[in-house]
């Protein structure tokens, strides 16, 4: 890669993301990125984020490639995005409407500032707004005939206010198994796998997810919480409902060697560059919850090469719905019938599309094994950098 005017990253200095990106730039013969911290960008509130970037880009020799990176893992940044007077206790589920409003306001301000300076963004602010709204993202994919689990509610329907409405809408649809997801969350924060047994108001109910109670509030947990009955589950859904919930019908996953599997596919500039099989004994496969990376070769053997190509094709087709965003992580569900589907296309569905789905350390590339996820991104940007 030729020498460049460099890259400016809006991110958290010293984070794993920034460290891995810097290493990839060095391997490509490029200078370290200039890091503009989220704390600095948000110091005067999300509405003033663009002014901070404008000042940073006004200096001589300023980088002309701007990357918005994840604002996560910093409680001060979380507080600033929500406009809250104090940081939330560790583990608090905070990515609700206030967080979303702050993040999208800041991202659009950053985008406008970059445009005014003639800089290129690697992620489009309007795309980010969709990617961080599960209901809107689901509707966009469904409208494009991309396979997704069925949503409980059609676009435009008011989000459920609590357990009473969830139960009533499930009864109306005749559904007994669903995933309940905070619409603006990530990393499985607040996600529940919910199951009704029986019909009517007397039906048993069971919910499982990486959630526990602390001081009367649901908080994130690295261990799966189990909640039974109307009283326990109802209290939990009622507490999560202000975060705005998106509910999808259960998609039975393929089980290999006793573990449910799905696939995170990283798509860079329209091409699938990396894939990690995520495996779990439960319903939620996120790796940070103690779940394990699976064997890609074993999955490919189980579903066949046409099946594996379908997984990658669906991920790439999904990424094309966000053409102004350079990199996304697409979580592809592989159906339980995939190993015996014969000549029929294997059942797949897109569970999530992640704006910041590239934090997958030590994962070999699909096309170039020595490229990690950050190498792939820098390599694909060769034509953007100037001599």
> How large is the average pLDDT for residues 8-12?
97
Quick one: pLDDT at residue 4? 44
Quick one: pLDDT at residue 342? 61
Q: What is the pLDDT of residues 84-140, one digit of tens each?
A: 999 999 999 999 999 999 999 999 999 999 999 999 999 999 999 999 999 999 999
Quick one: pLDDT at residue 339? 64
Question: Residue 257: is its pLDDT beyond 50?
Answer: yes
Question: Residue 186: is its pLDDT beyond 50?
Answer: yes
Under the banding of pLDDT at 50, 70 and 90, the label for residue 199 is: low
Q: CB 39: neighbour CB atoms within 10 A?
A: 15
What CATH topology corresponds to 253-375?
D-amino Acid Aminotransferase; Chain A, domain 1 (3.30.470)
Under the banding of pLDDT at 50, 70 and 90, the label for residue 268 is: very high
Quick one: pLDDT at residue 156? 79
Q: CB 332: neighbour CB atoms within 10 A?
A: 22
Q: Where are the domains of the chain?
A: 7-121, 163-249, 253-375
CA angle 161, 165, 170 (to 5 degrees): 135
C-alpha neighbours within 13 Å on the C-beta side of residue 354: 22
Nearest to 194 by CA among 155, 225, 153: 225
> How large is the average pLDDT for residues 49-74?
93
Question: Residue 1: is its pLDDT beyond 60?
Answer: no
Quick one: pLDDT at residue 340? 61
Quick one: pLDDT at residue 154? 83
> How large is the average pLDDT for residues 284-301?
93
Residues 177, 156 contacting (CB under 8 angstroms): no
Handedness of CA 72, 76, 77, 78 (dihedral sign): positive
> How large is the average pLDDT for residues 297-323?
96
Strands (DSSP E) found in 117-238: 120-121, 177-182, 192-197, 204-214, 217-228
Percentage of the chain exceeding pLDDT 70: 94
Question: Residue 201: is its pLDDT beyond 60?
Answer: no
Quick one: pLDDT at residue 48? 98
- Report d(CA 382, CA 387) in Å as an integer: 11
Nearest to 131 by CA among 140, 121, 142: 140
- Report d(CA 287, CA 279) in Å as an integer: 8
- Report d(CA 306, CA 322) in Å as an integer: 25
Quick one: pLDDT at residue 346? 87
Which of 148-162, 236-250, 355-369 is predicted least confidently? Answer: 148-162
Quick one: pLDDT at residue 118? 94
Residues 273, 266 contacting (CB under 8 angstroms): yes
Q: Which pair of tokens denotes residue 165?
A: 């409405």
Q: What is the pLDDT of residues 346-384, one digit of tens each?
A: 899 999 999 999 999 999 999 999 999 999 999 999 755
Q: Which pair of tokens denotes residue 273?
A: 């560059």
Q: Which pair of tokens denotes residue 298?
A: 């074993």
Under the banding of pLDDT at 50, 70 and 90, the label for residue 302 is: very high
3-state secondary structure of 69: coil
- Strand 204-214 to strand 192-197: parallel, antiparallel, or no bridges (unpaired)? antiparallel
- Report d(CA 217, CA 239) in Å as an integer: 7
**What is the residue-averaged pLDDT of the chain?**
93
φ and ψ of 50, to 5 deg: -60, -35
Question: Residue 263: is its pLDDT beyond 50?
Answer: yes
Which of 3-7, 121-125, 258-262, 292-296 is predicted least confidently? Answer: 3-7
The set of residues, in sequence order, having a beta carbon less than 8 Å from that of 62 and lying 6+ positions away, is: 5, 8, 56, 117, 119
Question: Residue 291: is its pLDDT beyond 70?
Answer: yes
DSSP secondary structure, 253-290, as one string: BPEETTEEEEEEEEEETTEEEEEEEEEESSS---GGGT
Residues 150, 251 contacting (CB under 8 angstroms): no
Nearest to 56 by CA among 39, 40, 43, 72: 40
Under the banding of pLDDT at 50, 70 and 90, the label for residue 3 is: very low
Nearest to 178 by CA among 217, 206, 137, 144: 206
Quick one: pLDDT at residue 61? 80
């Amino acid at each position: 890669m030729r020498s460049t005017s460099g890259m400016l990253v809006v991110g958290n200095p010293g984070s794993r993301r920034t460290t891995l990106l810097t290493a990839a730039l060095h391997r490509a013969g490029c200078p370290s990125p200039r890091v503009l911290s989220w704390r600095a960008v948000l110091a005067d509130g999300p509405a003033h984020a663009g002014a901070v970037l404008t000042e940073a880009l006004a200096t001589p020799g300023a980088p002309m490639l701007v990357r918005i990176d994840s604002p996560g893992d910093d409680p001060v940044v979380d507080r600033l995005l929500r406009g809250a007077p104090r940081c939330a206790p560790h583990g608090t589920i905070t990515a609700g409407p206030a967080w979303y409003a702050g993040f999208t306001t800041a991202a659009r301000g950053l985008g406008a500032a970059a445009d005014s300076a003639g800089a290129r963004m690697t992620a489009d602010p309007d795309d980010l707004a969709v990617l961080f709204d599960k209901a809107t993202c689901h509707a966009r994919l469904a409208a494009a005939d991309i396979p997704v689990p069925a949503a409980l509610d059609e676009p435009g329907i008011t989000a459920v206010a609590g357990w009473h409405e969830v139960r009533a809408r499930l009864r109306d649809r005749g559904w007994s198994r669903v995933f309940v997801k905070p619409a603006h969350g990530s990393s499985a924060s607040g996600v529940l796998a919910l199951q009704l047994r029986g019909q009517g108001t007397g039906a048993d109910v069971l919910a499982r997810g990486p959630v526990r109670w602390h001081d009367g509030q649901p908080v994130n947990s690295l261990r799966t919480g189990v909640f039974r009955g109307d009283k326990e589950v109802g209290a939990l859904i009622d507490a999560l409902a202000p975060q705005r919930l998106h509910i999808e019908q259960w998609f039975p996953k393929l089980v290999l060697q006793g573990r449910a599997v799905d696939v995170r596919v990283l798509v860079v500039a329209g091409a699938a560059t990396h894939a990690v099989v995520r495996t779990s004994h439960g319903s939620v496969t996120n790796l940070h919850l103690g779940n394990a990376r699976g064997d890609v070769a074993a999955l490919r053997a189980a579903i066949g090469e046409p099946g594996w190509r379908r997984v990658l094709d669906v991920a790439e087709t999904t990424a094309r719905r966000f053409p102004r965003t350079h990199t996304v992580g697409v979580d592809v569900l592989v159906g339980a019938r995939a190993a015996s589907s014969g000549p029929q296309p294997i059942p797949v569905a897109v569970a999530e599309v992640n704006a910041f789905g590239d934090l997958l350390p030590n994962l070999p590339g699909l096309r170039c094994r020595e490229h990690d996820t950050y190498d792939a991104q820098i390599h694909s940007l060769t034509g953007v950098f100037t001599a």
